[in-house]
Chain A
Amino acid sequence: MPFLTCAQPQVIDGGPTRDSLTPLGPVDTTASPRREGVSPCLGHPRVTGEVPHAMEATPWDPDDVELRLDADGRLTDEAEPAAGQREHSTNASSLDLRALYKAMVRARCLDLALARLGLPMWAPSAGEEAVTVACGTLAAPEEWIFPGSRDIAVSLTRGADLDDLFVQLLGLRRAGPPGTAGAPDRRVAQVPETLGLHLPLAAGHAHAEKLAGSRRATVALLGEGLCSTGYYREALSLAVACDLPLVLVCKSQVWPDGAPMEAGVFGDGVSVRARSMGLWSRRVDGADPIAVAQAVERALTRARQGHGPALVEAVVTQMLHKDAPAHRDPIERLRRHLDHTGVWTATFQDVIEAEIRGHISRAQERAQERAQERGHELGELEGGRDA
């Protein structure tokens, strides 16, 4: 399957191609997608040719994951209605896929904008949007979310004020680590500077929800690297021992050559180990926004109904791997699906991007002006403290 296993996105049938790292302009349908800097997302070619369903998995595709959208963006249930999957795979239609897609594109645009800011210690999160957007969308407005340091898309998805996000991102108001910005008015907690501390904080918050009988869940996001920490283990212990309505959503990266030991994904993986500790857990493909959303939704519902803590492990491919195949990108995969169902059009894409990019650049300019007024530029050493 040349298309799905190719190292770089290829044009099939000369569909529209965009370079998302360049400012939005007219779509150049003749430009070569192979040029330097082509984003593995948003710039993916439109697939119009027939792609068979029985595709071989690439080294980038995780094993043992729940899947609703295949690599080509077709619902697996339609293609192959497995009896065992039916009971919990019914709700693809109840998800607003159009809104989900928009939120993911917005998240990617913000990530690309942040990449250009040169924030110290900042790490991109392209490829993880299915997770952040599912959490931001499916948690009820009054339910708190405790994001990790790469989850600014949660604040964005929850409708946080972009001006305020950039004020925090540029350090005009001290928040958490670089690249993070809480939105307490949207029930998105600040990210603590201590790595992983948000997990026991979230456990405490979930504990309060339980004591109050609020029937609300508390959500915390993490990367698989945290799974080796005491905070993670202790948060799980608290969640199980106190039967907390805590939903942990873990983004496990997939490495085509196997995960390094220091990545924290030892043994049978995060979800299996969580289950052995007594949590309800599911492992889904993070490149499949529908599977992620459904698993998160189920975890939330359980927690709200008093059935205790849950962990959803979404196996993601970070888009900073330039050789990752296009179908590992959750945005591209959902785009393919929406394309099949006639929802996605180039104009639809242009409108979403133009809107969010305009908002981002205006918020960024305003924050940068304020930073200049204050007399210190990002990246410059501020003077020592005046006694």
Chain B
Amino acid sequence: MTTVLDILSTTLAALLREDPRRLLLGEDCRDGGMLGLSRAALDDPELEGRVLGTPLTPASAVAHAGGLALAGRRPIIALPSAAALLEGLAALRELARGGQLAAGHGEHATGDVLLLAPTGYGFGLGGDHAASFESTLALAGARVIALGDTSEAAALLRAAADLDAHSGPVVLLLPRSLLLETVDPDALYESLPRELHAARPVRGGADAVATVFCWGDTVARAIAAAERTGFDVAVVDVASLAPLDTPALIRAARETGKLVIAHSGAPRHGVAAELAALFADEAILYLDAPIVRVAGARELRYPAEADACPSVHAIADAITRVVTY
């Protein structure tokens, strides 16, 4: 057994070996990085020159990576936290618009960077350290992917790092609560069994009476909640928060017509609201109950880290509410 962090570290080293254009950057990267993500790469003397320690430059880290990409590199930035991207938002937005900055820059596009961002609760940090910023990042125009299943850790990182397959910056959100879990290396997916932008059906089938949409650290909670209710409940890991896999999500919504959206982070102005609007637009005739959203607290206060995500109980209540509506 090994931890998800070790899996990611090993995969990063492999990714660097496979493509000499790739670089791993971040503060402390020369010491393994804040999470130890560069440790495996540092063990390989051949990767010596491509694991780069950079000073703490929150506003500029994304643009710096963009400049490297412009010159044909494939930078992977190990961020201390998704919150670190808030200062780099302007750069993220600029890179996401790709066409303009990268216009005519030959075969390279400045937007092709991968950002690894630990997010949410899990390290006992509490307060804003446990916050979830995916909605803000999605708004900036970046591709935002959330790890929702530890057995996909290596495969999802691989797919996200395949910057030739998709243009623009990719933010891979790594829920902290999943990073410390242990996994059986033999149970890992070697490659992603779906497209990077695809939603992931987790549970449920043709007879499901309700559907829970969730992502990141909430996926495991949604599964537990579904089991607890005793109903036949479908669970869909949205996985790609931007862009959304709209056809698959609409299909899943239409199948049951009773929808719960569960996620960590604040309840308002986010991806969940976007999903609810999407279902109101595209599945209104199939809906048999109001769309119910369950989320974390609007405001996080140290040390109440548990407020960051909805409880299994809250999700189960929401499921029961829509099923018995």
Contact = CB atoms under 8 A, between A and B. Distances in A.
Interface stretch (B51-59, B131-139, B285-293, B317-325): B51-59
Given A185-B104, A192-B101, A238 B57 contact: yes
B94 interface: yes
B60 A238 contact: yes
Nearest to B99: A174
A237 interface: yes
Interface string B88-116: 00110110000111011110001000000
Contact of B91 (A175, A176, A194): A194
Contacts of B52: 207, 242
A212 B57 CA distance: 23
Contacts of A237: 55, 57
A229 to B, nearest CB: 8
B64 interface: yes
Given A204-B67, A206-B67, A231 B60 contact: yes
A234 B65 CA distance: 13
Contacts of B73: 208, 211
B66 interface: yes
Contact of A194 (B67, B94, B103): B94
Contacts of B23: 211
Contacts of A175: 100, 103
A202 B104 contact: no
Interface in A207-253: 207-209, 211-212, 230-231, 234-235, 237-238, 241-242
A234 B103 contact: no
A231 B57 CA distance: 9
Contacts of B99: 174
Main secondary structure, interface of A, reads helix
A33 B51 CA distance: 63
B76 to A, nearest CB: 13
Given A184-B105, A204-B65, A208-B72, A235 B100 contact: no
Contacts of A184: 103-106
A208 B71 contact: yes
B71 A235 contact: no
A235 B64 CA distance: 8
Given A184-B104, A211-B23, A211-B73, A200 B60 contact: yes
A386 to B, nearest CB: 19
A238 B25 CA distance: 12
A207 B104 contact: no
A199 B72 CA distance: 18
B254 to A, nearest CB: 24
Contact of A207 (B64, B94, B105): B64
7 nearest interchain CB pairs? A204-B67, A208-B71, A200-B60, A200-B63, A234-B60, A234-B57, A205-B67
Interface of A: 144, 173-176, 182, 184-185, 189-190, 192-194, 197, 199-209, 211-212, 230-231, 234-235, 237-238, 241-242
Given A174-B100, A204-B67, 5 more contacts: A189-B105, A199-B60, A201-B63, A205-B71, A211-B49
